[in-house]
Amino acid sequence: MKRVKTLTWLAAAMLMPAAGFAQEAPAAVPTDMVWIMNTLLFLIGGFLVFFMASGFAMLEAGLVRSKNVTMQLTKNMGLFSLACLAYYVVGYNLMYPLGTWGVDKVLSGVWGVAVMEGVGVAADGVDDYSYASTASDYFFQLMFCAATASIVSGALAERIKLWPFLIFTVVLTGLIYPIQASWKWGGGFLDEAGFLDFAGSTVVHSVGGWAALTGAIILGPRIG
């Protein structure tokens, strides 16, 4: 009995190298799968940033007086709506000028509505499979753009009326934020100089903070 077991183990040991050689090489990941996963990551990241902005709204609602809670939440909903439009119509192309970056080239093809490819990997005009969907990248960057305006909203709580704030939101999300973000993320002079931006600490939070500080200085202290 022991001899049979020994022979069985020896035979199995001899067959293992042959089985190893018979295995097929790992299949390469399809390029469309890379495109799908990158797009999915952009969307997941965008949703998480959106919830960060929702947290800003809850924070602001807790900082203001009860009679102003509704107005503060209205401001946050309004700024997101206007940010979507301003960033789509003007901001996205300003932020990613695709090789035409520069003050002297602003009027040469940079101003324009963001162009999104067809939905799905089989659609006409789909983006390069090695990256991701342009629409998902737009959504991801839009969330950061709107979050910048949310920072200003909290700093100016109970100091500014609704319509002036919404007008400023259009300027911030359509012009100010995209232009300064292009200096780093759009391949501008900061990127060429080797400047590092960690998790949007400068492009998003610093710019939102400076805009909020400017507004607070102009409006003065909160009364009441």
Residue 9 lies in a domain: no
**Cα→Cα distances 28→24, 32, 33, 75, 177, Å:** 12, 11, 10, 49, 40
Any domain includes 130: yes
Per-residue pLDDT of 109-146, as tens digits, reads 455 566 565 544 444 445 556 677 888 888 999 999 99
Helix orientation angle between 31-63 and 69-86, rounded to the nearest 10 degrees: 150
The alpha-helical segments, DSSP class H, found in 64-106 are 69-86, 92-95
| Count of domains observed in the chain | 1
Structural domain contains residue 5? no
DSSP designation for 125: T
- For the question of whether the overall pTM of this predicted structure is more than 0.85, the answer is no
58-113 pLDDT, tens digit per residue, is: 998 898 888 889 999 999 999 999 999 999 888 888 888 765 555 455 444 455 56
Domain assignment of residue 6, yes or no: no
* Mean pLDDT over each residue of the chain, to the nearest integer: 78
Which CATH number fits the domain that encloses residue 152?
Answer: 1.10.3430.10
Place of tokens 């400017």: 214
Q: What range defines the domain where residue 49 resides?
A: 31-219
The pLDDT assigned to 110 comes to 52
**What is the tens place of the pLDDT at every residue in 172-188?**
999 999 999 988 888 88
In a domain, 89, yes or no: yes
